């Protein structure tokens, strides 16, 4: 009896131990199989998360790194961007109750770029307007004044009288990648503070929409939904940085049909700063006619790759001509930046002012050469024999300085003017005691002088007066 009882106890204990062992083994196996770290690594600048899979089932410890796209959560970018985007109502033909029969108006969007009320928008939104009304995201309304406008990029700058406004920070549009998520923020169909999302589908896109002298079309193309009323609004990246100004759509119906286009922020910044300082854009030109390089042309010119911009013609006396560029040269880089298409070259050059020097690599007869080009403005008069370039003052500059005069844009090294120690930015108000208001008057006064010329004038930040003299040979 006792022996049977002991056997029963032993059998029962062995069963319990066996079940426990099996359970433990299964638990270990399940834990091993599911032992994978969660993909929650740090956010890197290229918006990629780092993660690691570990596996101890094999001999040793194996680590495999992989990347996964950042989560498509745009709440942060939207919260940053929407307070800085405004609604614009621009009236043309009169703004009083007595002339409503003549009244026309356009609506659009704008982006606050400074806490003291500077707002960037599209030229076509405020063109020829007599009255500009701005409504902020918090419903406050302001009357805005025009600072300046540039049809060649379809950009304009307006200003409201306010302080401590929310504003957007410019991002670097050059770093924008094809396939990167972006947000369009604006007021389509007067639906205030509308946010749509899409990806960058192309860069440097020319759609031949701008009807202006020396147009620059190097648009960011996206599939973010943009409609009438979005013009002048913000295109932002996932960090809420301003990387473009929404400008156009391709459509047969007048509404969004798949693609929208924005002016890159790097170009917009240059245009806006020019408008702030001069009231108009200081456009520097290469003085060339150009075209994209084709596969056939690349073979004819001995290029290894289909890249660069083909020089079709060089304007006599222009910047390119003076630097030594000739017909059939192929421009490869500008200040170290590769250029593959005409829009890319136009955008890069468009970021510089007259008088700025560019380093250009170009292909000629099987060799890669380099030259330095000093940009010129078609509105600037070049007095090379004396050594400076001049232009008329804008109305805004005349009000700011309080005087009429002619602006010295650039000074040539080794010239008579440089030896006088004059600096660019000097405003000539008199030549040999005779008041001048235009470049033509300065040129005429210099031609009439046969011995010594004295230039009297001022600087914007240093009222003066200052005097510079040189001899006429």
Whole-Å CA distances, 188 to 88, 109, 110, 261, 410: 11, 8, 12, 15, 44
The gap between the terminal CA atoms of the chain, to the nearest Å, is 139
As separate numbers, helices (DSSP H) first and strands (DSSP E) second, the chain gives 10, 27
Q: Which of 100, 112, 138, 144 is nearest to 126 (CA)?
A: 144
**406-411 and 388-392 as β-strands: parallel, antiparallel, unpaired?**
antiparallel
CB 364 within 8 Å of CB 329: yes
Instruction: Determine the angle formed by the axes of helices 265-278 and 342-350, rounding to 10 degrees.
Output: 40
* CB-based contacts of 49, cutoff 8 Å, min separation 6: 39, 40, 41, 42, 43, 67, 68, 69, 70
Give the containing element (helix H, strand E) for 124. Answer: helix 123-126
Q: How far apart are CA 201 and CA 222, in angstroms?
A: 5
Q: Within the chain, what is the greatest distance between any pair of CA atoms?
A: 143
* CB-based contacts of 18, cutoff 8 Å, min separation 6: none
Q: If DSSP codes are grouped into helix, strand and coil, which group holds residue 192?
A: coil
Q: How far apart are CA 438 and CA 440, in angstroms?
A: 5
Which residues does the annotation mark as catalytic?
Answer: 124, 154, 231
Q: Which of 164, 155, 173, 191 is nearest to 84 (CA)?
A: 164
Backbone angles phi, psi at 248, to 5 degrees: -150, 160
Region for 176 from its dihedrals, namely left if φ exceeds 0, alpha if ψ lies in -120 to 50, beta otherwise: beta
CB 330 within 8 Å of CB 320: no
Tokens of 247: 């400008």
Burial of 330 (0-12, 13-18, 19+ CB in 10 A): buried
Can you tell me which residue has the tokens 């000093």?
374
Whole-Å CA distances, 112 to 21, 269, 292, 385: 69, 13, 36, 45
């Amino acid at each position: 009896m006792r022996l049977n009882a002991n056997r029963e106890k032993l059998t029962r204990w062995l069963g319990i131990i066996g079940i426990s062992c099996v359970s433990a083994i299964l638990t270990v196996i399940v834990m091993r199989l599911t032992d994978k770290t969660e993909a929650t690594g740090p956010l890197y600048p290229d918006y990629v998360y780092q993660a690691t899979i570990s596996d101890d089932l094999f001999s040793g410890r194996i680590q495999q790194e992989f990347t996964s796209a950042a989560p498509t959560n745009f709440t942060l970018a939207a919260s940053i961007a929407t307070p800085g985007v405004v609604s614009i109502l621009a009236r043309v033909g009169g703004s009083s109750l007595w002339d409503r029969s003549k009244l026309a108006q356009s609506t659009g969007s704008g982006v606050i770029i400074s806490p003291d009320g500077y707002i960037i928008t599209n030229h076509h939104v405020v063109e020829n307007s007599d009255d500009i009304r701005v409504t902020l995201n918090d419903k406050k309304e302001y009357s805005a004044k025009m600072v300046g406008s540039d049809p060649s990029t379809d950009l304009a700058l307006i200003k409201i009288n306010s302080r401590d406004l929310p504003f957007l920070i410019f991002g670097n549009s050059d770093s924008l990648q094809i396939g990167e998520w972006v947000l369009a923020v604006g007021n389509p169909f007067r639906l205030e503070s509308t946010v749509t999302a899409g990806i960058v589908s192309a860069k440097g896109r020319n759609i031949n929409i701008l009807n202006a002298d020396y147009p620059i079309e190097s648009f960011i193309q996206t599939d973010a939904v943009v409609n009438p009323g979005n013009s002048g609004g913000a295109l932002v990246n996932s960090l809420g940085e301003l990387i473009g100004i929404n400008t156009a759509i391709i459509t047969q119906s007048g509404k969004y049909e798949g693609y929208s286009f924005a002016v890159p922020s790097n170009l917009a910044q240059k245009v806006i700063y020019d408008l702030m300082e001069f009231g108009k854009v200081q456009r520097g030109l290469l003085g060339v006619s150009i075209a994209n390089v084709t596969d056939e042309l690349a073979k004819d010119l001995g290029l290894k790759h289909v890249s660069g911009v083909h020089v079709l013609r060089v304007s006599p006396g222009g910047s390119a001509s003076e630097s030594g560029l000739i017909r059939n040269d192929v421009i490869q880089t500008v200040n170290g930046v590769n250029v593959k298409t005409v829009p890319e070259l136009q955008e890069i050059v468009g970021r510089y002012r007259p008088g700025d020097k560019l380093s250009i690599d170009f292909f000629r007869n099987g060799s890669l050469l380099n030259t330095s080009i000093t940009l010129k403005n078609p509105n600037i008069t070049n007095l090379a024999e004396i050594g400076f370039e001049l232009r008329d003052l804008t109305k805004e500059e005349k009000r700011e300085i309080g005087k009429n005069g002619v602006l010295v844009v650039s000074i040539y090294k080794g010239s008579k003017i440089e030896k006088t120690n004059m600096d660019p930015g000097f405003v000539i108000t008199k030549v040999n005691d005779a008041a001048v208001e235009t470049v033509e008057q300065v040129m005429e006064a210099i031609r009439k002088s046969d011995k010594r010329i004295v230039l009297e004038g001022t600087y914007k930040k240093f009222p003066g007066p200052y005097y510079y003299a040189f001899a006429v040979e």
